[in-house]
Structure 1
Amino acid sequence: MSALEQTRHLATAVPGPKSQELQARRSAAVAQGVSSTLPVFVTRAGGGIVEDVDGNRLIDFGSGIAVTSVGASAEAVVRRASAQLADFTHTCFMVTPYEGYVAVAEALAELTPGDHAKKTALFNSGAEAVENAVKIARAYTGRQAVVVFDHGYHGRTNLTMALTAKNMPYKHSFGPFAPEVYRAPLAYPYRWPTGADNCGPEAAEAAIDRISTQIGAENVAAIIIEPVLGEGGFIEPAKGFLPALREFASAHGIVFVADEIQSGFCRTGQWFACEDEGIVPDLITTAKGIAGGLPLAAVTGRAEIMDAAHPGGLGGTYGGNPVACAAALGAIETMKELDLNARAKRIEEVMKGRLTAMQEKFDIIGDVRGRGAMIAIELVTDRATKEPNPKATAALAKACHAEGLIVLTCGTYGNVLRFLPPLVIGEDLLNEGLDIIEEAFARI
C-alpha cells in the first residue's frame, strides 16, 4: 500500500491558491489545445489518493484514465524501474536490445487469450499500438480496408483519428484523415431501437451486412473493436455481438483486433475484457494499465500474423523503453500478487450496488453499466426519450471535483460519468467517493 495517507482531506478550496498560481504559469507556457479535467497540480499520488500542491488529498476515481490500476507509486513498479534507471535509460531496442523487452513480450504471450504461438512488438502509446496493428494486418492480408464501429475511440494520430468515431474534440479541424476506414453499427444495448434483448443479434446482422455489401469482406484487412468501449461511453456490446464478428472475421480471412488499451490488465475483473465471451483475437492492443504509469504499449498476436511485416518495418526510437519495460514487469507482478482481478470484481459489486440504488432515487440516471472497475452512469433529461444530458453531467463532475473526488466524463454525447478507481483503492475511500456522488445528485 502507498505511504501516502489514504484519507480525503481538503486544506483549501479546489483548486487551491498554489494550483491557481501554477495554472497561470501553465496558461502562459502550454498550448491551450492540451486541456485538463481538474486543474490541481499534483505532488504525490498512491493507492486511491492524489495529493496536490495545496495539501489537498483527493479520492481518485480516474487512475489517470485507467493507467495507474496498481496505484500511482506501486512498490514493485518503483523498485524495478528505479533499478533499471540506475543501469541505463535507453539504448534503442532496434540498435542494441535488452532482456526487459523480451520479458514483457513473454509475459504478454502468457497473459493474453489463446494458446497459439504469439509474438509482440512494443510501442509508446495506445494510438501507436493501434496504428501498428493496422500495418501488420494489411501486411498479412494484402488488403487495405479497416472496419471500426460507432462510438469507438482508438487514438489521436492521423490514422487513429480516422478510426475514432467522435468528432469533438478529437477530430474537429484536423482532417483530411487516412482513407479506407469504414464504420459499422455497434450493439449499444441502452440505445438500440428495438431494445436491449434484441440488440446483439440485430446489431451483428446490421454490421455484417454493411461490411459485406458496402466494403466487401474480401477487401477487409482488419476489424477493430474495443470489447468494452472506453471514451464512447463505457458501452458493453450486447451479448453475441463480439462472437458473431469474430466468427465472420475468421470465415473471411479478416484479422480480428481487440483494442484492450483501456479495458485490459484486470480493469474489468479479467486480464482482458474479451475473455468475457471467450473471444480469442488475432491481435490485441494494450497500453494504459500495462506499466503502472510509464509510457508503454504493445501489439500481441498470432506469430504468423505478427511476422508478416518485413524486418525494420515495425519499431520506433523509444518503443519498449527499458525503464517502461521494468515498470511493466512490476505492474504485472503486483496484479498477480494482489489478485487485482478479484479486487476489480469487488469494486464492481460495491459500485453497481450503490449506483443502482441512486438510479432508483434520481430519474436523471438512465443507465448503470460496465464491468469490474470500469463503471459508468449515463445521464438523460428524460428516461422515456433518453435524450442525453451533458449539461448535468458536467455539473455533477464539477461538484464532485469541488468535494475532492476526481471523476471523468465521456460518451459520444458527453453525458456519461465514468469511474476508473485504482484497483488497489481501499473500500472506505470507494464508499466515501460514492457518498460524494450521491450528495452531488441530491444537490443538482
Structure 2
Amino acid sequence: MSSESISQSINVVHPITLSHGKNAEVWDTEGKRYIDFVGGIGVLNLGHCHPRIVEAIREQASRLTHYAFNAAQHSPYIDLMQRLTAFIPVDYPVSGMLTNSGAEAAENALKIVRGATGRSAVIAFDGAFHGRTLATLNLNGKVAPYKQKVGTLPGPVYHLPYPSKDNGVTCAEALKALDRLFSVEIDVNDVACFIVEPVQGEAGFLALDVEFAQALRRFCDEKNILLIADEIQSGFGRTGERFAFSRLGIEPDLILLAKSIAGGMPLGAVVGRKALLDTLPKGGLGGTYSGNPIACAAALATLDEMTDANLQAWGAQQEEAIVSRYQAWRRDKISPYLGRLTGVGAMRGVELAHADGTPAAAQLSQLLALARDAGLLLMPSGKSRHIIRLLAPLTTEAAVLEEGLDIFAACLARLD
C-alpha cells in the first residue's frame, strides 16, 4: 500500500498506480501501458471510458448530480428501471430497485425474501462470493480472508457443494448433499431461499451444472422456496448472453445485478417477480445514494450498447480467441503448469496446477508479476488462488486481445 492513510486491511493485487485508460488499455502514473485483463474485476465489459457512457455522464452531471429517490423521483431512475426490467429475459412481470453495489443488492434481496416468505434460512454454495458486508459474508462459501476475525455472522445460512464440470462435483453429489441437509441440519419449511451464481466468479469461473440448476428450480417450486441468481459478475454479456442463467434453462425469482451495469459507475440492482418486490411496507426499501442520477445515465448508455447482436458478436469473438489459444498452448505443451480452462462463453479461467492436479499457487503469483512487467494485468481467483480469471472488456480490439494472449503465453512458458 502506498499510503499510510489507507487501511492496510485492503489487499492490492498489483503494486502500481493507474492514471488513465481507454477500452482494454490502461497507463500508470509513470506512463507505462498495460493491457487490462482485469476489467475492474468484471465492471468494465464495455471497457474504460466508453465514449457513449462518458458523454452520458457529462450530460447528466450538468443537469442533476444527485437526488435521493426516497425524497423525490427523478427521471434517470425511472427511465433506467423501465429499460432494465425489459432487459431481463424472463416471462413474468418484473420490477426492481436500484442499489449502490452488488453486496447491497444481496442484502436487500435477503430482506425481500424474508418479507415474502416469513422464513429466514438461506442456502448458499461452497466457493460462493456475494459481498463483503456482514450478512453477505455468511453467504460466501470461503472463510479466508472474508470471515476471519469478524465474529458471529447473521444467519441462519447453510452451504451445499457447487456442482460443476469445472470442479468435479457432480449433480448427483450435490443432490445427495441437498437431501442430507434437510434430513439432518434444517427443516425445509424454514428455508426462505437458495442463492447461487450461474458462474462462480471468485471461485475461478466455475459454470453451474445445467441438470442441477433445473433440479433445484423444480425443488424450489415444490417447497415454495425462492431462487436468487447472483449475476453480479456473470451478467451484462460476460458469457455472450445478457445473463448466464439463460444458459441453464431456468428463471430465477430474484436476480442480483451490479458490476458492468453502468460502465464503471457505482450501481447495483435487485430485480425479479413484481409480487416479491412489492412485499415489504413503504419505506422498507431504498437508500440515500441508491440510483444516483449520474450512475443511472451511465447505465442507460450501457444498455444502448448491449444489444443482443453486439453481445453475441463480442462474446463469440472473445470465446473463440481464448479457447483456440488455450488449445494451442495445450497442444504445444508450453508449460507444465497449464491446467484446465474453466467457465463458459467469454467468461473463462485458466488454471495453474502441478502434474498431480494440485493447485500451483506459487506459479500463479509468479505469473502475475511476470505478466505485469510485460504489460499485462491479470486477476487471480480460486480457492487456492490458482486460477486466472480473464475479464478483458468484451469490446477489446482483436489485435489488443491477441497481444495480451501472446504476453500470457510467453509468461506461462517462463514459469519455474
TM-score w.r.t. length of structure 2: 0.96
Residue 376 in structure 1 maps to residue 352 in structure 2 = no
- The answer to whether structure 1 residue 111 and structure 2 residue 87 are counterparts is yes
Q: Which runs of 5+ in 2 are unaligned?
A: none
User: Which of 362, 366, 380 is the aligned partner of 2:339?
Assistant: 366
Conservation of the 8 A alpha-carbon contact between 2:242 and 2:311: no
SS in 2 for 1:233: coil
Task: State the match for 1:234 in structure 2.
Answer: 205
Q: CA deviation at 1:121?
A: 0.6
Say which SS state the counterpart of residue 314 (structure 2) adopts: helix
In the TM superposition, what are the counterparts of 1:39-50 in structure 2 within 5 Å? 39-50=15-26
Identity of aligned residues (%): 38
Q: Give the 5 Å matches for 1:210-229.
A: 210-211=181-182, 213-229=184-200
Work out whether residues 120 and 155 of structure 2, in 8 Å CA contact, stay in contact via their aligned partners in 1: no
Matches within 5 A, 1:231-270: 231-270=202-241
Choose which of 91, 104, 121 in structure 2 pairs with 1:145.
Answer: 121
How many residues were matched structurally?
413
Which of 73, 81, 104 does residue 97 from structure 1 map onto? 73
Give yes or no for contact 1:264–1:273 (8 Å, CA) kept in 2.
yes
- Tell me the residue number matched to 1:29: 5
Tell me whether 1:387 sits opposite 2:358 in the alignment. yes
Q: State whether residues 186 and 207 of structure 1, in contact with CA within 8 Å, keep that contact through their aligned partners in structure 2.
A: no
Which moved further from structure 2: 280-289 or 358-367?
358-367
Query: In the TM superposition, what whole-angstrom CA distance separates every residue of 1:93-131 from its partner, at most 9, and x where no partner exists?
Result: 000111111122112211112121111111001000011
Aligned to 1:187: 163
- Matching of residues 149-164 of structure 1 within 5 Å: 149-164=125-140
Distance 1:348 1:208 in 2: 36
User: In 2 relative to 1, CA 209–345 (structure 1 residues): closer, same or farther, beyond 3 Å?
Assistant: farther
- Tell me the equivalent position of 1:314: 285
Structure 1: distance between partners of 2:230 and 2:372:
30
| Residues 208 and 284 of structure 1: CA distance in aligned 2, closer, same or farther (over 3 Å) | farther
Aligned residue runs from structure 1 range 173-212, under 5 A: 173-192=149-168, 199-211=170-182
CA contact (8 A) 2:166 2:343 kept: no
Deviation track 1:151-207 (CA, whole Å, cap 9, x = no partner) reads: 0000000000010112222221122211201111110324436xxxxx123323433
1:53 aligns with 2:24: no
Counterpart of 2:371 in structure 1 is 400
State the AA in 2 paired with 1:158.
Answer: L
TM-score by length of 1: 0.90
- Cα displacement (A) at 1:73: 0.6
1:42-101 deviation digits (Å, cap 9, x = unpaired): 221121101111111110101100101111111221111111111111110000111111
Structure 1 residues 268 and 191: alpha-carbon distance in aligned structure 2, compared to 1, 3 A threshold: closer
Aligned to 2:243: 272
- Hey, what's the Cα distance between the residues in 1 that align with 2:314 and 2:172? 32
1:364-390 Cα shifts (integer Å, max 9, x gaps): 22211212332101221224xx21121
State the shift of 1:337 in Å: 8.6
1:327 counterpart = 2:306: no
3-state SS, counterpart of residue 174 of structure 1: coil
In structure 1, what is the equivalent of residue 413 of structure 2?
Answer: 442
Deviates more, 1:336-345 or 1:280-289: 336-345
Aligned to 2:400: 429
Question: What runs of 5+ residues in structure 1 fail to find an aligned partner?
Answer: 1-22, 194-198
